[in-house]
Amino acid sequence: MKRRTFIAMAGIGTGLLILPPALYIASPALRKHAAMLIREELYYLKLDNAGVEQYVNDYFSSSSNNVITNLRWKAFYYLGIKAEQSNQIFELIKFYLLSTDFFIHKMDESKLVSYLGLYSPYKSPVPNPYSFVLYPAD
């Protein structure tokens, strides 16, 4: 068993037993782990760190924020669960990329990835990354 997985299983198991669930709600620890997951998954990109943290704050402030969800986020990080294994991590990281200038810069890995505000077709400046807005017809 990998060390991190072992620690995670022990730690999370204990936490589940002794901590009141309310302590996990919107906890700073949860947000820290979510930000760590983003950085780990997108290790090859230059991420604006303050932007990652702001995104995580915005993401959890706007999405459902229940006890189980929060516990899962902690477990995801400590158990080393990757985006392809978890829809929730996938959603977190996907919406992070959609909320940045990454697609506006045509996925140029050499450029700093900056957070522009939570992705919304009604509010954010980020267009559909597939669309003719970024890839006009010849």
Partner 1 sequence: MKYDYYDLIIVGTGFSSTFFLKKYLEKNKGVKRILVLERGQLFPHSERLKIKRGELADSSAAGNSWETQIINKTPEKRWPFTTAFGGSSNCWWGCTPRFMPSDFKMKTLFGVENDWPVSYEELDPYYEEAEELMAISGPEGTPFPRKVNYPLPPHHFSPIDKILHQKYGNQYISQPTARASRGTKGRNQCMANSSCDVCPVDAKFTIENSGIDVYQNAQVELLYGAQVYRLETAGNVAKKVCYVKDGKDFEIAGEVIVLGANPMFNSNILLNSGDQNPLTGKGFGEQLGMQVLIYLDNLKNTGGSTWVNANGYMLYDGSHRKDYAACLIETNNAPYNIRLERGKWLNMTSFRMIFEDLPLSTNYITTTSDKLVPEINFKGGRSDYALRGMENMKKVLPGILSCLPVEKLKFLDPFPNEGHILGGTRMGKTAADSVVDKNMVHHQYRNVFVLGSGSFTTFSASNPTLTLSAMSLYSADHSF
Cα diameter, the chain: 62
Q: How far is the CB of 49 from partner 1 (least distance, A)?
A: 19
Angle between helix 28-41 and helix 67-78 axes, rounded to 10 deg: 40
Q: How far is the CB of 137 from partner 1 (least distance, A)?
A: 5
- Which residue in 91, 92, 122, 119 sits closest to 104, CA to CA? 119
Q: How far is the CB of 17 from partner 1 (least distance, A)?
A: 33
Q: Which is nearer to partner 1, 49 or 131 (CB)?
A: 131
Q: How far is the CB of 73 from partner 1 (least distance, A)?
A: 17
| Residue 7 CA from chain centroid, whole number | 22
Q: Which residues contact 97 (CB under 8 A, 6 or more apart)?
A: 42, 103, 113
- Positions that interact with partner 1 (CB under 8 A): 41, 44, 83-84, 90, 93-94, 97-98, 103, 107, 119-123, 127-137
Q: Which is nearer to partner 1, 47 or 83 (CB)?
A: 83
Q: Which is nearer to partner 1, 50 or 107 (CB)?
A: 107
Euclidean distance between the first and the last CA atom of the chain, given in angstroms as a whole number: 54
**3-state SS assignment for residue 79:** coil
Q: Which is nearer to partner 1, 30 or 93 (CB)?
A: 93
